[in-house]
Chain A
Amino acid sequence: MAELKKFLVRRMLTFIPTIIGITLIVFAIAYLIPADPARAWAGGEKASQKAIELVKERYHLNEPWYDQYIFLITGLIKNEIIDPRTSNPVMDDVGKRFPVTFQLALFAYFFVLAIGIPLGLISALKRDTAIDTFVRIFALIGVSTPVFWLGYILIYIFFVNIRIINLAGVPPSPEIVITHVPVIDSLITGNFELFRQHVARFWLPGFVLGFMGAGVVARFVRNSFLEAISGDYIEFLKAKGVPKLRVYRHAMKNSLVPIITVLGLQFGVLLSGAPITETVFGLPGIGLYAVFSIGTLDFPAIVAVTLLFALVYVIANLIVDIFYAVIDPRVRY
């Protein structure tokens, strides 16, 4: 256990340069903005010179770039930066919207797993049959379908025609906050009515966002499983007289190693796809917020969102690493 802890700490330390690098890249992009952000933040064209100076002072815009960068990052971490557009602390804004996106990604992830893994396994077990072909085509259709198109088609079917979903606002969060993810919190605290509302609001966007991933995962599960089942040790298992189902269990466990990597990556992909889904379904999430912030040159917000995405990425990687260590004895802490 102590070994595992040490391993995790070491992994986390290697992630720090990644996070710094990512925020630097975004900061550089923001720095590229030629329009005068101070003027925009002070109120646009008709901003007074004094107001502009004040803004510059406040956000260290007159300092060299590294000073600005450090000011911004430390300020964001301490939540001391006030968003010039909304006049709230930036992290408060982000904190309000992130749960929406996270919940959306969770719903999508649910569909990715619930559709992708069984389909992949069936496809592998029935390889070169009609079912396999079907899954293959399903996967190709999945990666070929524009999210906005699928979203609107489904809205047309479920909302315009049969009106079984709603598209306005987001249900409230439960009183007791545990995980900050409303749907989970409402389930844990036994508030089933609220849980139902969240599911009703999020299942369709989640399905749309997860549709692509489900196909990708199905294909990947299929190929990893087939790869595992063609391993030499599988042949030896059969020669040992191990029954089919048990052989599959060995193959399953072995194919899990690559599958976990892809599942880890998928979470990032889902978050990345969030802006379009949020736009289609009118969900006030972080993706929509990022798109809007970029449009208004609100770069403290952009850097904050980036920081958050980078953190999620790093954590997803960490979870993947932990799974590896648990499953595969060859992984050394």
Chain B
Amino acid sequence: MSQDEYYRGILDRISDAFIGLFVYLISTIRKGWREKNRSRIAEWKLMFYALNRSPPGVIGLFLVTIFVFLGIFGPLIAPYKYNYFPIFENSKTYLSPPGEFFVLGADHFGRDLLSLLLQGARTSLVISIIVILLGVPAGIILGLIAGYFGGKIDELIMRITDMFLAFPPLILAIAFAAVLPDRISYLINTYPPLQQFLLWLFALERTEGGNLSRLLAVMIAMAVVWWPGYARITRGSTLTEREALYVESARAIGLPSSKIMLRHILPNIIGPILVYVTLDFGTVVLTEAGLSFLGLGATPPIADWGRIVYDGTQFFPNAWWLIIFPGFIVFLDVLGWNLLGDALRDVLDPKLRRSIEFKVKKVKKSKTKDMEIKEVEHE
């Protein structure tokens, strides 16, 4: 118990520091923000405390931190480069099982699976982030517009949104991913800075320039599928927020609509959307792996978790490690995001939040008199 308390204390202090830093940053940009939002800051702190008391949330946060870390530093700490083919030097490395040449075995080019997985962490992270960065703001903006203006505009946007929602997302993504590369390769080839930037993002070498368009196509395809969900939830929250007093008064003093939407409504509805993003991040990772498992997206020698499995299936069941390990990594990554998102959702829901911390010890009902109840005081 005291051990528990000790670690929670540390976690609480870390989260306090984190919020403190965040608040400090905001209040340097906007003077007086801290004073105006005291209750909100206190609420955030409570949320983090609650998160720290939810073991799945802590595990999720831990996994997510690891995978973000690996996404950033994975290619640097990988023992071998993704485009180093040992098979040319030693033909025995061909599909060598775990432990023989490399800890986790090798693929059909004799490449070290561990290094590929580390490199693949970058691919996965970059694609997921870009999909979120493209899809989520688009959805939020459309949802804001639909919810704020209502009427015909709302009707039109939501009809289109419904169409995209009606569509099996994987099929739509497949269609886009198959069709786009030819278009994009032209774009990439005519803008060398873009090409270089992408190569740097994915930690790839110059020689892979030609393969970038397929990666980019997958990202765009997924972004196209991803915005409708966000348009929906943003519209929903905007509709309720639109009636709030502060929006009325902002309108009354003649602020432009765009300003009201972005400066006033958005900050008030962003919380739940961010939780949704957290939950969704896992789905993005999973979908990306699925697409590359179907042979879309990354092509060898670019390392990609789904693609490793796709190539490995030819050698199934002999080279089982090419399927089991990458699949497990995808699983852990997605699980991390889902655990974190799930815990965050509880924390954001005031009704559920109560139950996180106060797990009252169950006492037999018959003894109503002087029941002893473990009282867990907060603060």
Contacts and interface: CB of A to CB of B under 8 A. Distances in A.
A305 to B, nearest CB: 7
Contacts of B293: 146, 148, 276, 279
A271 interface: yes
Interface string A112-148: 0000000000000000100000001100110111111
Interface string A293-322: 011000000100110011001100000000
Interface residues of A, number: 50
Interface stretch (A5-13, A31-39, A183-191): A31-39
B83 interface: no
Q: Is the interface of A mostly helix, strand, loop or mixed?
A: helix
Given A22-B167, A148-B327, A302 B175 contact: yes
B163 A22 contact: yes
Contacts of B290: 146-148, 276
Contact of B174 (A17, A137, A290): A290
Interface in A1-41: 17-18, 21-22, 25-26, 29-30, 32-35
Interface stretch (A73-81, A89-97, A152-160): A152-160
Contacts of A153: 324, 327
B42 interface: no
Contacts of A314: 166
Given A22-B163, A140-B335, A140-B342, A146 B175 contact: no
Interface residues of B, number: 49
Given A148-B309, A152-B323, A33 B179 contact: yes
A210 interface: no
Contacts of A30: 175, 179
A128 B361 CA distance: 11
Contacts of B338: 140, 143-144
B159 A17 contact: yes
A12 B283 CA distance: 32
Contacts of A88: none
B57 to A, nearest CB: 11
A156 B317 contact: yes
User: Which interface residue of A148, A155, A160, A275 has the most chain B CB atoms within 10 A?
Assistant: A148
Interface in B151-186: 159-160, 162-164, 166-172, 174-176, 178-180, 182-183
A149 interface: yes
Contacts of A156: 316-317, 320
B99 to A, nearest CB: 19
A21 B178 contact: no
B174 A128 contact: no
A18 B162 contact: yes
A144 B313 CA distance: 21
A294 B175 contact: yes
B182 A35 contact: yes
Contact of A21 (B160, B179, B294): B160
Contact of A279 (B289, B294, B330): B294
B149 interface: no
A125 to B, nearest CB: 15
A309 B335 contact: no
Interface string A260-271: 000000001001
Q: Which 5 A-B pairs have the closest CB atoms?
A: A149-B327, A272-B168, A144-B335, A144-B334, A294-B178
Given A143-B282, A144-B282, A306-B171, 16 more contacts: A26-B175, A29-B175, A140-B56, A140-B342, A144-B331, A146-B289, A149-B324, A152-B327, A271-B168, A275-B174, A279-B294, A287-B171, A294-B179, A295-B295, A306-B167, A313-B166
Interface of B: 56, 159-160, 162-164, 166-172, 174-176, 178-180, 182-183, 282-283, 286, 289-290, 293-295, 306, 309, 313, 316-317, 320, 323-324, 326-328, 330-331, 334-335, 338-339, 342, 355, 359
